[in-house]
Every structure is written in C-alpha cells, then in structure tokens.
Structure 1
C-alpha cells in the first residue's frame, strides 16, 4: 500500500551557487558518509558531474521528506537518508539512526529515482507499507 509520494525539481545553478557560497560545506552538511565519498570522487573527475550528483541527492532527500509527510523534521535529517546506487545503477535508499528506527517501526519502504539534465535535476519517491514494492518485469518475456 502506498503511504506517500514525493517529488522535487531543482535548478543546478541554484545548488551550485549555494555550494560555492558555503565553500563546499553544503555537501558535508547534506550528504551521508557513503554519498560524500561518491560525490568527492565525481567532483575530482568532472566538476559538473559532481555538482549534478550533489543536486540529485539533495532533491531525493527533499522528495523523501515529502513522501513520509514530515518535511525536514526529526527523525528526518539530511544525513540520515542516503540515496546510493546498486551495481546496475539503480538508486536505492539507506537510512540511519532515528530515521531507520522510524521506517522499521512503520514497516515503510521507499523507492527512489533521480535524473538530471543540463540545468535541472529531479527526484521522485514512493513510500509503501508492508512488503517492499518489487518490479515484476522480466526482460526475457519482453517481445516488443
């Protein structure tokens, strides 16, 4: 059962301006430990791709906070939610601290997707109750 849906759209230049204004501290305030490692690696290789990564994670946290109906209030904090990627590239959520306890107690699970274009990023989150939503798509059955 779906308990919440959240979306966030963000202009890259606004986030980049905030990152520059804070001399990079924004990333350390918003990203979890694992996200920060990926961000720093991407930023070193390509500044624009690093900023896009930071922006998609920021948008995912905003979308998630809307989907759970709390906004940025305890137990939701910037660093307690991470959006990481499976080896296939599929994004997934990882919780820590009070947010992990909150999600476990409610038996809630989140599905997240993020995307970026030249000047915008978007995140979309669906939170469900009970058994996690799992795709039933089997590519071997696809004919079209």
Structure 2
C-alpha cells in the first residue's frame, strides 16, 4: 500500500550558491558518506542537489512533519546503480508512525535541474 508520494526539484546553480554562501551547510544536510564518491573524492554539486531533492521528496512523502533532521535520511546507491534511502532517528520514527516499511527512490539531474521522487510504502 502506498502511504505517500513526494517529488522535489532543485536548481543546481542555486544549490551550489547556497553551499558556497553558507559554511557548514553541506554538513547539516548530508552525512560524510553522501559527500564522498567511493574513490574518496568529493561528490559533484549536481549529485548533491539530487540527494537534497530526494530528502525533500522523502519529507513530502511523510506529509512534511516538523522536526525531521536532514542527516537522519541517507541517500546511497547500490552496486547495481539503484538509488536507495536509509533512515534513522527522527525520520525512522516519523516513518514508523505512518506504517512505512519500504522506500522507492528515483533521482535525476539534467539541464541545470536535479529532481527526485520518493514513494513511501507500507
């Protein structure tokens, strides 16, 4: 059963400007694993914008409850290339209260825009 659907878009250049203008913003939005590629290099801004859109879409799929921490939702990619969500803390609690058992995530970035869709399933 679908409990909620969320969608979000982020303008990549605007997101990059926000990261440059606000020291520490990346650490408030992402855990260290999200900031780095498997090689250990820093992830590109388009990829980070898509991850941010995924976190916004996740919140919307839950009805955007107050008190969610950005770092309590992790976006990662399986070896197959499939993007996934891992939740803990505030996000895990909100999901459990709504009966969410699994997540479906799709992300993209093209033409200066990053987007994500999240389906919360019970």
TM-score (norm. length: structure 2): 0.87
Q: Structure 1 65/40 Cα, relative in aligned 2: closer, same or farther at 3 Å?
A: farther
Matched, 1:107 2:99: yes
SS in 2 for 1:126: strand
How far apart are residue 106 of structure 1 and its match? Answer: 4.0
Counterpart of 1:66 in structure 2 is 60
TM-score (norm. length: structure 1): 0.75
May I ask how many residue pairs the two structures share in their alignment? 121
The gaps in structure 2 that reach 5 residues or longer are: none
The alignment's C-alpha RMSD in Å is 2.1
Q: C-alpha offsets along residues 24-56 of structure 1, whole Å, 9 cap, x if unaligned?
A: x2211100232133399453xxxxx61011101
Larger radius of gyration: 1
Is contact 2:31-2:74 (8 Å) kept? yes
How far apart are residue 103 of structure 1 and its match? Answer: 2.7
The gaps in structure 1 that reach 5 residues or longer are: 44-48, 130-144
Summarize the alignment of residues 65-144 of structure 1 with structure 2, pairs less than 5 Å apart.
65-71=59-65, 73-74=66-67, 76-108=68-100, 109-129=102-122
